[in-house]
Structure 1
Amino acid sequence: MRKSVIALALAASLGATALPLQAADAEAPADASTDKESHKAKNLDAITVNAVPLNQQADQIVAPVAVLAGSALDDAKAGTLGETVSGIPGVQTTGLGKAVGRPVIRGMDGPRVAVLENGLGAQDVSNISQDHATSVEPFLADQIEVLKGPSTLLYGSGAIGGVVNVVDGRIPMRAPQNGFSGRAEGRYDSGTQGKTGLFRADAGDQQFALHVDGMRRDDGSYDIPGGTQANSQVKTTSGAVGASLLGDWGYLGMSVSRYMDKYGSPAEPGESDHGDHDHDHGHDHGAEPATIKLAQTRYDLKGGFNKPLPGIAKAEVSFGHNDYQHVEYEGETPATTFTTKANEGRLLFTHEPLAGWEGAFGVQYIHRDFAALGEETFVPATTTKAWGVFLTEQRHFGPIKLELGARTDRQTVTPNDQSRRRFSPSSFSAGASWRFAEQWHLSLNLDRAQRAPAEEELFSHGPHAASNSFEIGNPHLKKETANQAELALHYHGEFVEGKAAVYTNRYNDFIYLADTGEVEDGMPLRKWSQRNAKFRGAEAEATFHLAKNASGAWDLRVYGDTVRASLSDGGGNLPRIPAGRLGGQLSWSRDDLRASIGVVKYFAQNKIAEFETRTAGYTLVNAHAAWTFHNGERSQWEAFLDGSNLTNRKARLATSLFKNQVLMPGRSVSVGVRAFF
């Protein structure tokens, strides 16, 4: 870890801070990104961020934010949302093979990181256990937005660690240029002998717009150094239809989407385990491998209305209904079924400028019914209801921009066999940005955020074979409170642009899953516990524009991050904290060609909790290449070649419950074709 801190200091001194990955031109609306030019790499500053009010661009937001779009998103897309965003400084992933990976933001994961689709919660059960996949498909995204640090102000208790918002344009907000646009892609992956195909089409005029998309992925068990990771196959199907009424008054639309996933748990391969035998690859509680079959149907309504009332510049309404189910199988026998039925609504009003202040206020409502049925029902059926009201304001004072916000919630959690719990979390934030020179600005963010415990933290009790845990909750847990401060320095120059940030987060009554060292039903016994804790970390990124001449455009991106998390009063380290890392990527483009090669070093994670094993360091080498072989007036075709872990290193995620049983994928090469029309 000491090496990673030194490396971060060097990276920061080179140019101080970066804007995560290049992104698409925000002058093309996010939901119209199928236009053939809009996928090209542009500067992140031009991207409009949908997850915050006031249609702000990324460089106008004081709070830490990162956006993936355009060709940078094309190159980063992976089978899981966590892996897709894991190249952003401060963001890593949990992992269970190629099917499961949830984002980890500055050491926070699970119920502290909100996964959203177009501003509303995914409402799956991926936060309950690390073997549960998210129901959001990154391959169909137009852009992916990451809010780092507490975002409870806008999205409530479950966003105390951050937000990942996937924008896919399934409800059109405007008609595409020239009345029609679309994209399609097909790829083959050598590491899984897998195939992925997708399409998207948008059509409309000034009064009506229609959207349709679909995706299919079929991957076999993936290669690892020295063999194959048994029971790591995955099949995914996703699709949606959406339509909107349009006019000068705004828009109103709805969509229906379906997501289906069937994947194996490589932590439970059964007797078929024939992977990397120098470690224990699976605690075989039965002879049959464990698989999960997931299905979700989602109905969304969304509208934006211009100047509906005096003093209100815009009113936005969003409503989503989700019907989710996944079944865990032991071989062909159903073992446990998880279901959720959830309704979520948001109403956001942007007011006209008032005494120099610009801002928005709103209300959010969530009703969620969760149930688990079967032989391993480790969380009881629970109903969660929550109301929240929030306000956010901003104003410029010369070179200083000030952002203020507040939110209060009322939440009840009612299990079917225990007493109801009520919580009233409140959050406050203040941020300031000082542009003290043309190319420099300094930002400071202070947050006080609270989170109500999730149902699994309160009420779990029993075995869960797919995650290889016997979990025991604590129904007497209190709400946790985070007090975070972040200081960041930004630089935007012709030769280099970047960002460096340091932060500290002191938690009162932090909730965590502690290993006990005991075994119950042949599984590690883990208990949900609560103590004060402290997180502190740093991240930096810089992009150097080395040359732009007849040989092409050459850019060098360097980045790194580190986070340290421990219990207060000498209580030791917190478990499953990301390892520090340092990476670099050299990119080149000329005319219809672009290519890049990147190296990222993950340092060993030796700052571990009691009964947790250390994670060895490793280095990954990745590469991308693309050739635009047809660039017509109405269409553009691109062939691409992507390579990951090209040196075939053994790699284990420090964030994963399954790091001792499951390796990350080995060497893999993907080849495919994209079309934009």
Structure 2
Amino acid sequence: MRKTMLTLALAASLGAAALPLQAADAASDVAPDKDNHKAKAKDLDAITVNAVPLGQQADQIVAPVAVLAGSALDEVKAGTLGETVSAIPGVQTTGLGKAVGRPVIRGMDGPRVAVLENGLGSQDVSNISQDHATSVEPFLADQIEVLKGPSTLLYGSGAIGGVVNVVDGRIPMAAPQNGFSGRAEGRYDSGTEGKTGLFRADAGNRQFALHVDGMRRDDGSYDIPGGTQANSQVKTTSGAAGASLLGDWGYFGLSVSRYLDKYGSPAEPGNAEEGEPPVHIKLEQTRYDMKGGFNKPLPGIAKAEVSFGHNDYQHVEYEGEEAGTTFKTKANEGRVLFTHEPLAGWEGAFGLQYIHRDFSAVGEETFVPPTSTKAWGLFLTEQRQFGPVKLELGARTDRHTVTPDDQPRRKFSPSSFSAGASWRFAQQWHLSLNLDRAQRAPAEEELFSHGPHAASNTFEIGDANLKKETANQAELALHYHGDFVEGKVAVYANRYHDFIYLADTGAVEDGMPVRTWSQRDAKFRGAEAEATFHLARNASGAWDFRAYGDTVRAELEHGGGNLPRIPAGRLGGQLSWSRDDLRASVGAVRYFAQNRTAAFETRTAGYTLVNAHAAWTFHNGERSQWEAFLDGSNLTNRKGRLATSLFKDEVLLPGRSVSAGVRAFF
């Protein structure tokens, strides 16, 4: 309790932060150019957030949101989406080496956090198990948006904990200003002896636009303090092509993308003496997307947006050269969103969402039966300004059907309501309050799993009688934007009725720990804060110091004990400097020990990670910009384990590594 209270006190004393952004005042649908890349932090709140309607900017949204873009995104990009966004207060990651990492938002993970690509679900199976990678590539992102707290209103019951939306512009919504733009990057990592290369190009005019991109990463097993994390290698290839018709009427476009991944499971490195081969996973996904935006299509409608995605996904888990279980999904998802003209002072949007997903797992360790899921959702969101007070309201209703093979069908009708208010009581200050009631239908693995899963080393048992869970959340945040300091501090509480969680039983089956999907009332409460201090602007350069912290406490009601795999509290700081064509930063983040563990869960020791970054723009021409960079991570080579990970006792975080590379914008 002392450490939690210390973290809360320190976080609150930091004040509150500007969103951790460094990007241009430009719409994310346009390929980033060299000027966008160099924009300063003061421009960051002007970025349009794609994951919410009405074309709002980050500082106009009452609900908690953070965005990474431009040079700030370049400096934190990692091989997993979870690691890329983990420096945002309130956001951490699960982890299995450098190949797998899904975002954890305020203690919520798995099926409660929706991972989106351009507003549609990734439709992989990363929510089913912590050894499954996401099929979204952060290295190709223009910007990454994080909605913290229940976002079921816009994206359905799978977003009861939050949303991470990766915007990559694969369907152009506009042409580059000069008719052509692009970027390229190559880097080498000492910790894996790995190489990463990527390119992107956009071209077009007022009537037509084209997009192509590609990425290749080849990492060996990574270094850890005192050795190498066996079987942690990863090879990833991703690419896409897209095209759009453009005009004063709007835009309409199509894209096709391909994602390939092959990675080892460091939790299952094998044992040659006992004849146990290492486990590795081969993943592939083909995605087809359609998206359109139509200006004033009907009386009273300012804009109509339609999007549709079809995904064909599979991954195969191998024990040595022998194929084990094959996971497959075929999914269709569609959204229609109508933004209406202002009505009696209210601005808003309403829409419809549909998802049809067929899932199967076939092989020796089929622990979830083939399942078909269908869901319909209707939603409405409205906002209005009353002088210094802005009010946001929303509602959604869903129909959710889950049909497994040879088992009874389950039907759910989750509904969600939200209300938020922001009060600008002084020029530099505003206070926000968000209230949410959200419901989630159980996922297929929670309902129907039963059997061993070698890659995650778990014997998993579901419960077909689980009920929908209901969250009631309140968040209070104070924002300050001044010349010397800008920041935000927030506190929140979330009470869950019929919370679903994976509990360790202490039993062992087939040599694996038995974990069961269980349901009880639970409560989450936490705090997060961030502050950026603009220390100096003089001949020596621009000096800034960013401090942040977060903590979350999660436990079952009525003396039921702690919930498992809850993130540890953190406190971090970073000193940044820039002058002319140079910029550099050094920082450290302290992860406190996680001693509030569930039954049969081991404690997680605290650790401190020290990181640094430097970049030099050695050519800044009229049409192109070239930049050399150097990144150092875990420079003191400390042992670290993620409290959120099922595999923390077997798998360490990477040790000291240095990445060097060159990126170009043209």
**What range is the shorter-chain TM-score in?**
over 0.9
Residue 592 of structure 1 is matched in structure 2 by: 581
Q: Residue 632 in 1 paired to residue 631 in 2?
A: no
Residue 202 of structure 2 is matched in structure 1 by: 202
Residue 182 of structure 1 is matched in structure 2 by: 182
User: Which whole-Å CA distance do the structure 1 matches of 2:645 and 2:416 have between them?
Assistant: 30
User: Secondary structure, in 3 states, of the residue corresponding to 1:59?
Assistant: helix
| 1:185-584 superposed matches below 5 A | 185-271=185-271, 287-584=276-573
Displacement after TM superposition at 1:36 (Å): 1.3
Displacement after TM superposition at 1:19 (Å): 2.5
User: Secondary structure, in 3 states, of the residue corresponding to 1:575?
Assistant: coil
User: Secondary structure, in 3 states, of the residue corresponding to 1:82?
Assistant: helix
Q: Is the Cα–Cα contact under 8 Å of residues 7 and 569 in structure 2 kept in the other structure?
A: no
Q: Is the Cα–Cα contact under 8 Å of residues 19 and 66 in structure 1 kept in the other structure?
A: no
User: Which whole-Å CA distance do the structure 2 matches of 1:23 and 1:306 have between them?
Assistant: 30
Deviation by residue 1:279-303 (Cα, 9 ceiling, x = unmatched): xxxxx8x610000000000000000
User: Secondary structure, in 3 states, of the residue corresponding to 2:271?
Assistant: helix
| 1:72-151 superposed matches below 5 A | 72-151=72-151
Q: Give the alignment's Cα RMSD to 1 decimal.
A: 0.9
User: Which whole-Å CA distance do the structure 2 matches of 1:629 and 1:5 have between them?
Assistant: 47
* Matched letter for residue 125 of structure 1: V
User: Which whole-Å CA distance do the structure 2 matches of 1:34 and 1:436 have between them?
Assistant: 36
User: Which whole-Å CA distance do the structure 1 matches of 2:343 and 2:394 have between them?
Assistant: 16
Displacement after TM superposition at 1:4 (Å): 4.7
Deviation by residue 1:226-249 (Cα, 9 ceiling, x = unmatched): 000000000000000000000000
Structure 1 portions without partners, runs of 5+: 274-283
* Matched letter for residue 628 of structure 1: T
Deviation by residue 1:198-234 (Cα, 9 ceiling, x = unmatched): 0000000000000000000000000000000000000
Q: Is the Cα–Cα contact under 8 Å of residues 538 and 561 in structure 1 kept in the other structure?
A: yes
Residue 654 of structure 2 is matched in structure 1 by: 665
* Matched letter for residue 650 of structure 1: K
Residue 25 of structure 1 is matched in structure 2 by: 24
* Matched letter for residue 458 of structure 1: L
Equivalent residues, number: 664
Residue 34 of structure 2 is matched in structure 1 by: 36
User: Which whole-Å CA distance do the structure 1 matches of 2:266 and 2:465 have between them?
Assistant: 34
Deviation by residue 1:19-61 (Cα, 9 ceiling, x = unmatched): 23122123x2212243111112433311110000000000100
User: Which whole-Å CA distance do the structure 2 matches of 1:414 and 1:159 have between them?
Assistant: 21
Deviation by residue 1:512-545 (Cα, 9 ceiling, x = unmatched): 0000000000000000000000000000000000
Q: Is the Cα–Cα contact under 8 Å of residues 8 and 582 in structure 1 kept in the other structure?
A: no
* Matched letter for residue 121 of structure 2: G
Deviation by residue 1:333-380 (Cα, 9 ceiling, x = unmatched): 000000000000000000000000000000000000000000000000
Residue 58 of structure 2 is matched in structure 1 by: 58
User: Which whole-Å CA distance do the structure 1 matches of 2:21 and 2:582 have between them?
Assistant: 17
Deviation by residue 1:40-92 (Cα, 9 ceiling, x = unmatched): 24333111100000000001000000000000000010000000000000000
User: Which whole-Å CA distance do the structure 1 matches of 2:92 and 2:10 have between them?
Assistant: 21
User: Secondary structure, in 3 states, of the residue corresponding to 1:31?
Assistant: coil
* Matched letter for residue 120 of structure 2: L
Pair 517,291 (structure 1): closer, same or farther in 2 beyond 3 Å: same
* Matched letter for residue 96 of structure 1: L
Q: Is the Cα–Cα contact under 8 Å of residues 11 and 550 in structure 2 kept in the other structure?
A: no
User: Secondary structure, in 3 states, of the residue corresponding to 1:6?
Assistant: helix
User: Which whole-Å CA distance do the structure 1 matches of 2:535 and 2:69 have between them?
Assistant: 23
Displacement after TM superposition at 1:271 (Å): 1.8
* Matched letter for residue 81 of structure 1: L
Deviation by residue 1:407-438 (Cα, 9 ceiling, x = unmatched): 00001000012100000000000000000000
Q: Is the Cα–Cα contact under 8 Å of residues 337 and 373 in structure 1 kept in the other structure?
A: yes
User: Which whole-Å CA distance do the structure 1 matches of 2:271 and 2:99 have between them?
Assistant: 21
Residue 280 of structure 1 is matched in structure 2 by: none
Q: Is the Cα–Cα contact under 8 Å of residues 230 and 266 in structure 1 kept in the other structure?
A: yes
User: Which whole-Å CA distance do the structure 2 matches of 1:499 and 1:636 have between them?
Assistant: 34
User: Which whole-Å CA distance do the structure 2 matches of 1:536 and 1:496 have between them?
Assistant: 27
Structure 2 portions without partners, runs of 5+: none
User: Which whole-Å CA distance do the structure 2 matches of 1:416 and 1:461 have between them?
Assistant: 13
User: Which whole-Å CA distance do the structure 2 matches of 1:215 and 1:8 have between them?
Assistant: 41
User: Secondary structure, in 3 states, of the residue corresponding to 2:35?
Assistant: coil
User: Which whole-Å CA distance do the structure 2 matches of 1:254 and 1:19 have between them?
Assistant: 35
User: Secondary structure, in 3 states, of the residue corresponding to 1:270?
Assistant: coil
User: Which whole-Å CA distance do the structure 1 matches of 2:82 and 2:174 have between them?
Assistant: 30
Displacement after TM superposition at 1:12 (Å): 2.7
TM-score, with structure 2 as normaliser: 0.99
Q: Is the Cα–Cα contact under 8 Å of residues 33 and 39 in structure 1 kept in the other structure?
A: no
Pair 272,581 (structure 1): closer, same or farther in 2 beyond 3 Å: farther
Displacement after TM superposition at 1:13 (Å): 2.5
User: Secondary structure, in 3 states, of the residue corresponding to 1:74?
Assistant: helix
TM-score, with structure 1 as normaliser: 0.97
User: Which whole-Å CA distance do the structure 2 matches of 1:487 and 1:19 have between them?
Assistant: 16
Deviation by residue 1:97-141 (Cα, 9 ceiling, x = unmatched): 000000000000000000000000000000000000000000000
User: Which whole-Å CA distance do the structure 1 matches of 2:112 and 2:11 have between them?
Assistant: 29
Q: Between the two proteins, what is the percent identity of the paired residues? A: 86
* Matched letter for residue 138 of structure 1: P
Q: Is the Cα–Cα contact under 8 Å of residues 11 and 542 in structure 1 kept in the other structure?
A: no
User: Which whole-Å CA distance do the structure 1 matches of 2:269 and 2:31 have between them?
Assistant: 41
User: Which whole-Å CA distance do the structure 2 matches of 1:591 and 1:4 have between them?
Assistant: 42
Q: Is the Cα–Cα contact under 8 Å of residues 325 and 366 in structure 2 kept in the other structure?
A: yes
* Matched letter for residue 20 of structure 1: L
* Matched letter for residue 108 of structure 2: M
Q: Is the Cα–Cα contact under 8 Å of residues 294 and 327 in structure 1 kept in the other structure?
A: yes
* Matched letter for residue 10 of structure 2: L
User: Which whole-Å CA distance do the structure 2 matches of 1:530 and 1:640 have between them?
Assistant: 48
User: Which whole-Å CA distance do the structure 1 matches of 2:216 and 2:7 have between them?
Assistant: 41
User: Which whole-Å CA distance do the structure 1 matches of 2:178 and 2:499 have between them?
Assistant: 53
Deviation by residue 1:467-488 (Cα, 9 ceiling, x = unmatched): 0100000000000000000000
Q: Is the Cα–Cα contact under 8 Å of residues 5 and 562 in structure 1 kept in the other structure?
A: no
